[in-house]
Amino acid sequence: MTTSTKNCWLIDLGLIAYAPACELQHRAVEARKAGAIPDILFLCEHPPVITLGRNGKQQHLLASEAVLRQKGVALHHTNRGGDITYHGPGQLVGYPILNLAAIRRDIGWYMRMLEEAMIRASADFGVTAVREAGKTGIWVASAPGAKTSAAPEKLAALGVHLSRWVTSHGFAYNVSTDLRYFGLIVPCGLSERKATSLEKLLGRTIALSDVADLLVKHLGAVLNLDMQAVPRVQFLETLQHAERCAPSSPPNQLLATEPPLELARSDA
């Protein structure tokens, strides 16, 4: 990892449907590959949606299409790694669009750093979150004043995609998420484990913005990035300008220092 701090634009997308968020990620990835924009961190919430990753198993979806429609839950297949998960209001979702070639060419390290930032943010609220061997995300067995669970419950999930060392997708941290929706799936394919939320662990209301501020701070620290808040309108103008000015290039033309790389990792 380099010692110099790099700029990373922080873009708050607010509440946004899953499909347009994925499309915006795709556009940002292409612009980042071309060097037309700096590193980006999108933060958002999604309306209720279930997503199936590249390794997703249909049998881990426990609800029929009719039930999903009745409950207003969308269903999307996605190119991130891993199995099945739920996103919804009260869940802080982060999509880092980072050039790992300029940070550290190690996807395993990158995923551990995403976990580390969430572990540190949880600790700021007095919650001890940990990693579990062979699993991704962060897990909590107990919290101050809370009853100890039989098995650690999942507080946050990861699911990432990598293309020519540029990342997309990311993390989902349960702040005030309605945990009943996780009953529609086998979360991440782990039938014996449940999801939890920061509010459930602490027994009080937590503002999503407070968690976002801490996560941004810790992500900047572990990835050595200078997080700079940029208005969504300004970012979109920059992105559109980059797309208009992008030179056409022959298909599959890659820099010698950037080997073809298309990876999906983790269980989101």
> What is the token pair recorded at 51?
């997503």
Contacts of 9 (CB under 8 A, 6+ apart): 37, 38, 39, 40, 41, 228, 229, 230, 235
% helix / strand / coil in the chain, to the nearest 5? 35, 25, 40
In the residue annotation, 44 being an active-site residue is answered as no
DSSP per position, 130-145: B--TT--SEEES--TT
Integer Cα distance of 89 and 15 in angstroms: 8
Integer Cα distance of 72 and 90 in angstroms: 16
Out of 22, 44, 188, 245, the active site residue is 188
Amino acid identity, position 238: T
> How many CB atoms neighbour CB 188 within 10 A?
27
Integer Cα distance of 34 and 72 in angstroms: 38
Integer Cα distance of 197 and 7 in angstroms: 31
Q: Tell me the CA end-to-end span of the chain in Å, nearest whole number.
A: 25
Helix (H) or strand (E) holding 167: strand 166-174
> What is the token pair recorded at 72?
């207003």
Report the C-alpha dihedral over residues 130, 131, 136, 138, rounded to 10 degrees.
0
Cβ-contact 69, 39 below 8 angstroms: no
Annotated catalytic residues are 188
